[in-house]
Amino acid sequence: MMANHLNKKLDREEWEISIIDEREKHYYQPGYLFLPFDIYEPEDIIKPIRKFIPKDVHLITEKIKKIDAAENVVRLSNGNFLNYDILIIATGARIAPEEVEGMNGKEWQQSVFDFYTFEGALALRNKLREWQGGKLVVHITEMPIKCPVAPLEFAFLADSYFKHKKMRDKVEITYVTPMSGAFTKPKADTALHHLLEEKKISIEADFAIAELDNENKKIIDWGGREIAFDLLVTVPTNKGDDVIERSGLGDDLNYVPTNKGSLQSIVYKNIFVIGDATNIPASKAGSVAHFEAEVLTENIIRYIKGLPLKEEFDGHANCFVETGNNRALLIDFNYTHEPVTGEFPFAKIGPLKLLKESKVNHLGKLAFRWIYWNMLLKATPIPFVPAKMKLAGKHFD
Amino acid sequence: MTKQIASTTIDVNEEGFMTSFSQWNKSIGEELAKESNINLTPRHWQIIDYIQDEYKKEVPLSIRKIGKSGVVDIKEFYELFPKAPLKTATKIAGIPKPASCI
């Protein structure tokens, strides 16, 4: 995304652009939600990275050993190195089940699954295809996590999936969260609380997991509370990439301390950070990276010209939330404004409804995959959805 | 909405969490603690100071993080603020409870 932006904006006589990625394939992470329920197939969510890289940009497929920020050098595992004038870190976040005692024990991918990795989502799909029912527990270990609504969407889609398979009466769905409830923002709670009752999803709130007991198939919190499961779908602790730790650039969860308005590293002025790799208090969502990219591109141009950076990123996120039965919600929010009801992108017209279930929103979510591959990665702006969140069309009171 | 406490008017949300940290003072903290049936000891105050500092730095709070802070271990955190320690401690500290995006 940044390579595509900068390829258009920088003087290519003066600037050389390289991308280092250890993988050859790009995974559409929002698709991991649909894979377990046989809604998407693996080929829907994987494409070669090369396809999205402009021809004048060097793509280096290699693991990074270390970023030596004091020396402006990226050292690769094969012994090669790259000097840089400007570095953009986009190393994302990963799950770290090893952070909870017993989580990646003998039940991992037997009755304990994640859906935040391709392998996890695929293993869960195979499990769900043959599962005969019982206690399904959907669980969040701790915040922050990528796509914070995904576990709730998983619970909603599970309800639909088992209804469709005519076995909903054999499945008990429990949603376990370390927060105070499934919804933590007042407007969302008011507008959406009914969904949990309608779908017969029970909530266990304020549950801070201490341990997973593989023998007795239960999770135990620090206060001694126990929840038994037959099938646990957990979102483990999320952390920034290990290369950030190896390079000494991260906080205790390996996120890079970043200015939340300008996206410049707090410590190194020629390092910029985008997406899940930052520690900024925005959601770790694809739309956030898309909006950040516009602000960041402008700031990199300003940095090159020696101009002061603009602290204009407002934390904007725009997310479709699947609620099952071919319906979805849409939420649009930023650092200062919680999600509210309203119309999007046009006030009074829509056609999308904010914080309300509709079939049109579901079509929007499905269309997003096309937008991702064809617009977002290629740095094409989404029509009518600017980086800065619009207040028009939102019902704040 | 507003609430009268410790001879002051404070802004709170539907769950009684303060919405303007600048209105908070120690007397308000003590009164909020009493509402949660907690009598604040110097040990409680050390933890409240820590989570307020983290909040000012915009660092997201989690139970695990507090356990690794060196200020308190998780077992003692539960003893000091029973049942839902992070929710209770943040309420007394006058800062928002840990939240998701919806």
| pLDDT confidence bin for B98, thresholds 50/70/90 | confident
Mean pLDDT of B14-43: 94
Query: Do residues A248 and A271 touch, judged by C-beta distance below 8 A?
Result: no
Among A330, A290, A282, A292, which residue's Cα sits nearest to residue A143?
A: A282
Distance CA A253, CA A278 (A): 10
User: Is residue B18 one of the residues assigned to a domain?
Assistant: yes
Measured in degrees and rounded to the nearest 5, phi and psi for residue A374 equal -100, -20
A-chain CB neighbours of B59 within 8 Å are 251, 279
- C-alpha distance across the termini of chain B, in Å: 20
pLDDT band at A382 (very low <50, low <70, confident <90, very high): confident
Order the strands of the A327-333 sheet from edge to edge: A317-324, A327-333, A350-354, A341-346, A394-395
Contacts for B51 with CB less than 8 Å, ≥ 6 apart: B61, B66, B89, B90, B93, B95
Q: Would you put residue A362 in left (φ > 0), alpha (ψ -120 to 50) or beta?
A: alpha
Which residue in the list B1, B99, B101, B102 is annotated as catalytic? Answer: B101
CB contact under 8 A, B62 and A281: no
Question: Which residues is B95 bridged to in the sheet?
Answer: none
Is residue B15 assigned to a domain? yes
**Per-residue model confidence as pLDDT tens digits over B67-81:** 988 999 999 999 999
User: How near does any CA of chain B get to the CA of A208, in Å?
Assistant: 7
The residue assigned the tokens 């790009």 is A26
CA distance B62 to A144: 9
**Interval A240-247 mean pLDDT:** 97
Q: What is the pLDDT of residue A311?
A: 96
A206-226: average pLDDT:
95
Nearest residue, CB atoms, B87 vs list A148, A206, A210: A206
Radius of gyration of chain B (CA): 13
- Cβ neighbour number for residue A268 with a 10 Å cutoff: 17
More confident site: A232 or B66: A232
B2 is catalytic: no
The C-alpha of A178 sits at a distance from chain B's nearest C-alpha, in angstroms, of 9
Instruction: List residues of chain A with CB under 8 Å from any CB of chain B.
Output: 99, 142-144, 148-149, 152, 178-180, 183-186, 188, 192, 205-206, 208, 210, 222-223, 237, 251-252, 260, 279, 281, 283, 317, 319, 321, 331, 333, 339, 355
- Percent of the residues in chain A that have a pLDDT greater than 90, as a whole number: 90
Please tell me which of the candidates B14, B65, B78 has its beta carbon nearest to residue A252.
Answer: B65
- Measured in angstroms, the CA of A298 and the nearest CA of chain B are apart by 25
Give me the residue from B13, B58, B60 closest to A186, CB to CB. B13
Chain B residues with beta carbon closer than 8 angstroms to that of A317: 101
CB atoms closer than 10 angstroms to residue A133: 15
CB contact under 8 A, A281 and B84: no
Task: Choose among A180, A188, A279: nearest Cβ to B87.
Answer: A180
Q: With beta carbons under 8 A apart, name residues in chain A contacting B65.
A: 252
| DSSP strand pairing (A171-176 vs A201-204) | parallel
pLDDT tens digits, one per residue of A4-62? 999 999 999 999 999 999 999 999 999 999 999 999 999 999 999 999 999 999 999 99
Residues of B in contact with A178 (CB under 8 A): 62-63, 86, 98
Q: For all residues of chain A together, what is the average pLDDT?
A: 95
Q: Specify the number of domains making up chain B.
A: 1
CA dist A180 and A322 (Å) reads 21
Collapsing DSSP to helix, strand or coil, A370 comes out as helix
Instruction: For residue B99, give the chain A residue with the closest CA.
Output: A184
Tokens 């049942």, located at residue: B83
In angstroms, the separation between the Cα of residue B28 and the nearest Cα of chain A is 22
Beta-carbon contacts of A276 under 8 Å, excluding residues fewer than 6 positions away, are A92, A93, A146, A238, A240, A284, A289
How far is residue A339's CA from residue A283's CA, in Å, rounded to a whole number? Answer: 12
Cβ–Cβ gap B58/A260 under 8 Å: yes
- Cβ B55 vs Cβ B47: under 8 Å: no
Q: Over 90: is that where the pLDDT of B57 sits?
A: no
Contact A143 B86 (CB under 8 A): no
Which residues on B lie below 8 Å from A279 (Cβ)? 59
Q: Which CATH number fits domain A2-22+62-92+241-305: 3.40.50.12780, 3.10.110.10, 3.50.50.60, 2.10.240.10?
A: 3.50.50.60
The residue among A146, A183, A184 with the most chain B CBs within 10 A of its CB, best to mutate, is: A184
Q: Token pair for residue A33? A: 């939600």
User: Do B62 and A319 make contact, defined as CB atoms within 8 angstroms?
Assistant: no
Instruction: Write the CB contacts of A121 (distance below 8 Å, at least 6 apart in sequence).
Output: A32, A33, A35, A36, A114, A115
Q: Which two three-digit tokens encode residue A388?
A: 């800065």
pLDDT at B60 over 90: no
With b for 16 or more beta-carbon neighbours within 10 A and e for fewer, the A78-97 pattern comes to eeeebeeebbbbbbbbbbbb
Ranges of each domain in chain A: 2-22+62-92+241-305, 97-237, 317-395
Q: What pLDDT, in 10s, does the model give residues A179-202? A: 989 998 888 888 888 999 999 999
User: CB B59 to CB A186 under 8 A?
Assistant: no
Q: What mean pLDDT is predicted for residues A275-280? A: 96
Report CA-CA distances (Å) from A148 to A63, A282, A295, A378, B14: 28, 11, 23, 25, 23
Size of interface A-B (CB pairs under 8 A): 80
User: Can you identify the CATH homologous superfamily of domain A97-237?
Assistant: FAD/NAD(P)-binding domain (3.50.50.60)
Tokens of A173: 């769905």
Q: What is the pTM of this model?
A: 0.93
- Give me the domain span that covers residue B16: 2-93
pLDDT at A53: 93
pLDDT for position A174: 98
Between the alpha carbon of residue A172 and those of residues A33, A108, A124, A322, the distances in Å are 20, 21, 17, 20
Task: Write the DSSP assignment of A36-79 as a string of letters.
Answer: GGTSS-GGGSEEEGGGGS-TTSEEEE--EEEEETTTTEEEETTS
Closest chain A CA to residue B69: A252
Residue B97 to residue A333, Cβ atoms within 8 A: no
With a cut of 80, say whether residue A397 has pLDDT above it: no
* Residue A110, beta-bridge partner list: none
